[in-house]
Amino acid sequence: MEKQGFWQNVWHLYYDGFRNMTIGKTLWTVILIKLFIIFVVLKLFFFPNFISHHSKKGEEAEFVSTEITSRQ
């Protein structure tokens, strides 16, 4: 019997597990869609790039430092 390395054992474990899934594939699809919504859609609509809209190109650090010191 041939001895396999740790990473090969891990790869075969996950490969065989995902290949034999039935309902798990659907659940993973739902998880990936939710992650897409969280990281892409919400970022676009709820977290705009505030610093680039309110400062000039190359002066972002100055804008942040003045905002931090002026809000105290």
pLDDT for res 35 = 93
User: What pLDDT digit, counting tens, does each position of 24-58 carry?
Assistant: 888 989 999 999 998 888 888 887 778 877 888 88
Tokens representing 17?
A: 């597990």
Cα of first residue to Cα of last residue in the chain, in angstroms, is 69
- Cα gap 59→65, rounded to integer Å: 10
**Segments forming the whole domain that contains residue 37:** 6-70
Domain-located, residue 61: yes
pLDDT for res 30 = 94
Domain-located, residue 1: no
Q: Please indicate whether residue 40 or residue 71 has the higher confidence score (pLDDT).
A: 40
pTM of the model: 0.49
Domain count, the chain: 1
User: What pLDDT digit, counting tens, does each position of 3-28 carry?
Assistant: 678 999 998 888 888 888 888 888 98
Q: How far is CA 64 from CA 17, 46, 49, 58, in A?
A: 48, 20, 13, 12
